[in-house]
Copies of this chain bind each other. A is one copy, B any other.
Amino acid sequence: MISAIGIDIGGTNTVVGLVAGSVVLERRVMRTKGATDLDRYVKDIAHIIEAIALDYPHCNIVGIGIGAPNADAVSGHIYHPVNLPWKGEVPLTQLLTARTGLRSYLINDATAAVIGEMRFGNSSNLTDFMVITLGTGIGSGIVANGQLVSGIGGLAGELGHVIAVPGGRSCSCGRSGCLETYASATGLVNTAIERVRSGADTVLNSKPVMDITAEYVYNAALAGDAVAIGVFEHTGFILGTTLADVIALLAPQALVFMGGLAHAGDMLLVPVAQAADAGMLKALKGRVAFTRSVLPDSDAAILGAAQLVFDNR
């Protein structure tokens, strides 16, 4: 059976998947965070692929598709990846091909997710929409007229680096106030930590601040902690306000959210939709859908990245 490896490289984890057609047969997770030794990281991916190949002898793996932040589809390099542990220019496809002998393709992680969502998700009937991944960072992919918007070198869709708060939090991209410093899982946790440090009366105080995760804040909010709820409202407000500007530019039919923080569902998406609606031009109010992807985590990106292999056969 013709198969491909689809890899979703996130700031925290890397998920290596085995794809046949529209099915993800297998997902194996390794750590991205802290994997500063690039050669070792590539070797670890190669080992996972070998192990998968042994476990699925009927699968004929014909190539590797990778979705990663700051990816240049043409060169196959990752440039200045701000949420990954490597600096400068990373020739990832060349390194993986050298190690595995498999043809490798690279695209932006959010772009991979969009391709997966377009073909296998609940947006396949839409012509104009945007996929927004809320994880360690924020990525996005734009579809207009039924086609992916790539821009120069596939670099379009850097919603995470739209300035949401001028002069705001320092971003690893070297600038200040980028949306992902507020509205990613990391950004939400930092907002929670700020509130804990300012002496707020909250159950979030019951853990050392370094152990606070987005999931922990979510559970506190679910349990009715007003500060935790406020953290989600604040995060949703910043995200929704920024999205109102994006909607002014693109007038999309829908915004489809995925990634770890999207699991918060209405806790996040209700304030997002409220803030976006408040900031929207009258003519668009009520006409843009705010939804979550039906695909399991990482599967959209894994499926989309693997499609590169199938499409280039």
Q: Which residues of A contact B (CB under 8 A)?
A: 70, 72, 79-80, 128, 140, 142, 144-145, 147-159, 161-163, 166, 173-175, 241, 244-246, 248-253, 279, 281-284, 287-288
Which B-chain residue is minimally distant from A151 (CB atoms)? B251
Min CB gap A214→B, angstroms = 24
A244 to B163, CA, bound (A): 9
13 A-B pairs with CB atoms under 8 Å apart are A128-B149, A144-B149, A145-B149, A152-B284, A155-B281, A156-B249, A157-B249, A157-B251, A158-B251, A158-B281, A162-B245, A163-B279, A246-B249
Q: Which of A79, A80, A128, A251 has the most CB of B within 10 A?
A: A251
A144 to B173, CA, bound (A): 26
Q: Which of A166, A245, A249, A279 has the most CB of B within 10 A?
A: A249
Please give, as numbers and ranges, the residues of chain B lying within 8 Å of A282 by CB-CB distance: 79-80, 173-174
* Given A152-B253, A153-B251, A163-B244, 18 extra CB contacts under 8 A: A80-B282, A128-B156, A142-B249, A144-B147, A145-B148, A149-B250, A151-B252, A152-B251, A152-B287, A153-B283, A154-B251, A155-B251, A156-B251, A157-B249, A158-B248, A162-B245, A173-B281, A249-B249
Min CB gap A287→B, angstroms = 5
Contact (A145, B142) CB under 8 Å given A152-B288, A156-B249: no
- Name the 9 nearest CB pairs between A and B, nearest first: A151-B251, A155-B251, A156-B251, A158-B248, A144-B149, A162-B245, A79-B283, A152-B251, A145-B147
Q: Is the CB of A175 within 8 A of B145?
A: no
Min CB gap A244→B, angstroms = 7
Please give, as numbers and ranges, the residues of chain B lying within 8 Å of A70 by CB-CB distance: 283
Contact of A283 among B80, B150, B288 (CB under 8 A): B80
Please give, as numbers and ranges, the residues of chain B lying within 8 Å of A163 by CB-CB distance: 241, 244-245, 279
Q: Is the CB of A162 within 8 A of B281?
A: no
Which B-chain residue is minimally distant from A163 (CB atoms)? B245
A140 to B248, CA, bound (A): 10
Q: Is the CB of B145 within 8 A of A249?
A: no
A241 to B167, CA, bound (A): 12
Contact (A159, B248) CB under 8 Å given A144-B147, A175-B279: yes
Min CB gap A212→B, angstroms = 28
A39 to B153, CA, bound (A): 50
Please give, as numbers and ranges, the residues of chain B lying within 8 Å of A246 by CB-CB distance: 249
A79 to B140, CA, bound (A): 30
